[in-house]
Structure 1
């Protein structure tokens, strides 16, 4: 049986809204509102949804870069939110993140050697004498050249910068990596190279990934399981083939209908969602999707749908299924 690396249980992350003279909390932005899933060793879980649905907040809260509001996150059976500062620091090398923007996530005053090797020194994994050898080995794995080691971020293209970010995450040999829109800022040809690199490294080192993206074609290529988020909630979660061939939730169907088909002779019926996305500070009653759902009933407006397994590990939160 494959080991579970990350387990998320009813995770919530609310951001307070302050108002009035005394800046009292008058409400909350419910960025992540009670989601649950798990990621096994050597597995990639894709997380998709429209901008603002809570994907990135989920990834950052799972790494405890943000403190939770409620729920639990277990890394190999250990609740990371119960760890003391020293214990959390010792666990940091095992959980890394590749940020979305390769321009702002790298320090412009540091060379590649310093950026990638910094964590080795901070965590005592190598001496200053040995750092360059380890950095060289890692950047070569990530598709960079030996002479890049002394250059600075402004001297690289966007794709090369993202490879530096990947090298920085990989050098500590982590077990779990959050890829937060890791290829969205890159050209399509570069995207393919980076995705193939991540897949090759996973096959070799058995990393577990949470791959956050709004591009369903990219998620389909790299993921083993896919979760669909809407307004902070998980509306569907299933094995990749199951979700793409038999989507159940109306929101998932609408997202998949927008994916281009690379064949001009084929057409796909588009499902157009009407209306705007509700505010996460004031979500609708009942099913959050009912304000845009073409199949809504009275029950959808009043009752929150149960997130349940409809068979074979295919989870969905919908009254009409």
Structure 2
């Protein structure tokens, strides 16, 4: 059957219909977006301009911060401007572009977090072979694989959606274009498409989360015989990463691992992985990391001194 598409524009219902709540959300999310940019740029500059860039963990953190900036920028600016708009709309083409880029950078982020877990596993469980296993060439291969995985995931989500016929209602009950709200508007049977979305997004999120948890299980198993001080040091290097993983994966699993249905709570849960997690990543990795704080102090003190001279 030939695709019939009469919809050229979607109306986004957004987070709330209450103007006072929207105004509060505007101020809050604008501050969050500024914090995301400042925090992640601070991390990227501090790592790139210090010797930390030679360590695999910070090499990955540098790319995680970059993917955070790209990922949140696919959604947050539009959300912020819509909070002040009388009528929240997005064209069909921009909607499909947002869908593609959101899943592309979101996929990259998921795979980088998995790569970081592998790095911690090798560092703690195979310390004598760490420098050989996590060579710069291996790190570059992992980053390339993350980008390729994100692209393949995004292309599949895009192809599942772009050929759907939209011929009737155009009110999207969300603040950005995502697969499940779009499936709800399609004027065709989307049961198979919904199952394919679960097989893609749901299984990717679930499998990577299980891999992450297994890596930390093996880490905990390996350090059981360590001294108290060694255990504390090993766990401190992992605690930041575990916090980020839970913030990102818990809401993503809630949305994508179930059948293709939408709940009002989905919009609130989506805020966790589109805005809140990217904002907290810099705080989590800097406040709980002595090496990171020292590097930032050296880089920015050196910059201040050079300006003074």
Give the structure-1-normalised TM-score. Answer: 0.24
Name the structure where helix makes up a greater proportion of residues: 2
Give the structure-2-normalised TM-score. Answer: 0.24
Name the structure where strand makes up a greater proportion of residues: 1
